[in-house]
Amino acid sequence: MRRSEFFEFLNRFAEQPIPATLNRHMYLWVGEIDDLLSQSPTGFIKRLDLHMLCGSLTKTPLGDKAAGRVMSDAISEWILREFSASQRQRALLITGLDLLYRYHLPLSTFIRLANENCMIILSLSALDANFHPAKPLPSYVQLSPSAILKYAATEISEEAIVKEE
C-alpha cells in the first residue's frame, strides 16, 4: 500500500467504523514514525513502545522463554491499563518489533484487538527492515537483514504493508 492511500484510509477510519476487507485492520508501517504521526489525526494514535515497556519492568528474567513470558504479560497489562476497550475509533502504534521477534512472541494479542473500531499499526524503521552493517561481519555470524520484516509479514498481507512510494 502506498503512503498516500494509507493516509487517506487512516483519516476515513478515524471518522467512522470501517469493516476490514483484508484479514483485520492490522498494518505494517515501514519508515519513520514521525512521518506517520505528523500526518495522522491528532489524538487518534496511541503508542506502545516495547523498548520503554521492557525498561520499566521490575523483574529480570533468566532465559529467553522466561523473558518472553514476562514481556507478554507486560504487554497484556499495558493494553488493559492504557488501551481499554472503547466504541470510538482509535489506533495503536507498536514500536520495538525486534523484541517480539527476539522472544518469538506471537502477534495474536494485537490481532485480537483489531476490528472496525481499532486499527493496529506495527512500525518498523526502514533501517530495521533491511539492515546492512557498516563493516563486514565475521564469518561465524549469520545475519538475516529482513528477518523482522518477514516475521511481521507472517500475519499481515502484502496489501497492508505501507512502504515509501
The whole-angstrom separation of Cα 10 and Cα 38 is 12
Q: What is the DSSP string of 6-52?
A: HHHHHHHHHHS----SSSSSEEEEES-HHHHHHTSPTTTEEEEEHHH
Q: How many residues are there in the chain? A: 165
Residue 14's pLDDT band (boundaries 50, 70, 90)? very high
Query: Who wins on pLDDT, 18 or 132?
Result: 18
Range of the domain at 34: 3-162
Q: What is the pLDDT of residue 8?
A: 95
Distance between first and last Cα of the chain: 9
Question: How many structural domains are present in the chain?
Answer: 1
Alpha-carbon separation of residue 126 from 29, 30, 121, 137 (angstroms): 9, 6, 15, 21
pTM score, whole prediction: 0.91
Residue 165's pLDDT band (boundaries 50, 70, 90)? low
Q: Quick one: how far is CA 34 from the chain centroid?
A: 14
DSSP letter assigned to residue 138: P
- The SS3 assignment for 113 reads helix
For 63-86, the pLDDT digits (tens) are 889 999 999 999 999 999 988 777
For 105-164, the pLDDT digits (tens) are 999 989 999 999 999 999 998 877 777 888 888 989 888 878 888 888 888 888 999 987
Q: What is the pLDDT of residue 5?
A: 93
